[in-house]
Amino acid sequence: MGLDARALELEEALGEVPMFDVHTHLVGGALGARGLHDVLLYHMLVSDLYAAGCPSGARLTQFPDAPSDEEARARIEEALPFLPGIRTTSTAWMLRIVLADLYDVHMPLGAGNWRRVDAMIRERAGDRAWHHEILDRLCILRSGTEWARRGDGEDDERLQYALEWAFFTRCQWGEFDTALYELERCWGKTPEHPSLIGGARIAAVRPIRTLDDVHAALTYYVENIPYDGVLATATHISTDIDLAPVREDQMAAALARRAEAGPRERDIYAAYINEAFLAALEARRARIVFQFSFGAEPLPLETGSRLAQRTIAQVGDMIARHRGLRFQCFLASRHANQALCTLARELPNLSLAGYWWHNFFPDAIRQVMAERLDMLPAAKQIGFFSDAYCVEWVYGKAALVRKVLARVLAEAEAQGRFGREEALGFARAILCESPRSLLGMMPRDA
């Protein structure tokens, strides 16, 4: 049997394999797109369009707010002329899969038909049964999303949750006290407040000025994590930050310089708070997983993929220091995948999940999959998360991952490494079994 035939057969068989989508931004009670803008202007497509010359490269108005009808209309009409220029990209390919399979739209979007497509999507926006049907077509047993997007729990049978509240080790463009701001904006608030990415700062109700303030705010933060409601606490670790251990006197001195903070103070704030946070979680014997994204760094509108060897080494040291915690990495740098695999081989409390952001392109996914197949047992890796904001993009991303996984497994099968049942067994392991053992994902009827 030829390689193409093997891959097609495997792709069809993978369509019957149950899976978990361990990381999304779906909103409970409103899982689907609200209109064409949520499908056409998903942030990865916005970047494609911006690269092709579209004037706007920023995301639309973000949750918990929503784009106005005027904002949505203007951005769609602005984007349409640039769609032919991105037809070859894999993200545009996924868009076509979504529109064709879910809405029976096979013609290119343009001025003459976008309103009809928009109306079709809006008609389905409140149809929860339709959204559940899409997930069932994908054999997705459950999806992970942010605790702040739970709503009133309408879709608890479909969703499980991670806490995205403060990002102590994430850099923001042109900002040097992010770790302090992230902590103080949560002080006195509840975990239902969504995470913020960029935008104008909101004045802190309780500003952090002293080391005692840092400890008080962090104690409040740790004590208000809904441990019984979340499987993980999700954050980002920036490669620009020096995570070397920080003494209390260094932190106190850096706090006194907050008004003039630069890169050195940024590193001190982030490293000190992150280490104190991990120590507090470990002291509580918290069973939640410390998920972190890795390898996407700020640009004026979005991010670029880069990751320093120093950061990989420091994260390895951090994970080894906190053996009482479990860590899971979402990687956006294909070049760092081998290094992360070697860490996961030697650190019992580290696992790897999926293909994040700048890795979510077929050739990068293929490389990451093949290296992990070669280097790691299935029990150390999770095979899929969509990072999607609506179920339509869950569908498009799941379709792409299954195509690539089928090809990777077909190549290994053709080499004689294993047979068909072993190939499908590996797929079941990384798509269904590992999310349960590594993260605690559970099917709806469990």
pLDDT digits 0-9 by tens, 241-281: 999 999 999 999 999 999 999 999 999 999 999 999 999 99
Whole-number Å distance between alpha carbons of 397 and 389: 11
Rounded mean pLDDT, 28-41: 98
Task: Output the six-digit token pair for 316.
Answer: 């390895």
Domain range summary for the chain, segments of one domain joined by +: 34-125, 131-439
Model confidence band, residue 194 (pLDDT cutoffs 50, 70, 90): low
- For residues 95 and 121, the answer to whether their CB atoms sit within 8 Å is no
Q: Alpha carbon of 341 to those of 247, 254, 335, 439: distances in Å? A: 31, 35, 11, 18
**Helices assigned H by DSSP within 334-390:** 337-346, 362-375
Indicate the fold that domain 131-439 takes in CATH: TIM Barrel (3.20.20)
Rounded mean pLDDT, 143-156: 96
- Tell me the CA end-to-end span of the chain in Å, nearest whole number: 40
pLDDT single digits (tens) 54-84: 999 999 999 889 999 999 999 999 999 999 9
Residue 67, preceding peptide bond in cis (omega within 30° of 0): no
> What is the separation of C-alpha 199 from the centre of its chain, rounded to a whole number of angstroms?
20
Residue type at position 54: C
* CB-count burial class (<10 Å; 0-12, 13-18, 19+) for 80: middle
pLDDT single digits (tens) 280-311: 999 998 899 999 999 999 999 999 999 999 99
Residue 200 pLDDT: 67
Could you tell me which residue, 114 or 175, shows the higher pLDDT?
A: 114
pLDDT single digits (tens) 180-190: 999 999 999 98
Model confidence band, residue 336 (pLDDT cutoffs 50, 70, 90): very high
Task: Output the six-digit token pair for 46.
Answer: 């916005």
Task: Output the six-digit token pair for 384.
Answer: 């899929």
Strands of 209-295 (E only): list them.
232-237, 289-294
pLDDT over 90 for what percent of the chain?
Answer: 91
Residue 355 pLDDT: 96
**Helices assigned H by DSSP within 2-113:** 3-14, 36-40, 43-51, 69-79, 90-103
Mean pLDDT of the chain: 95
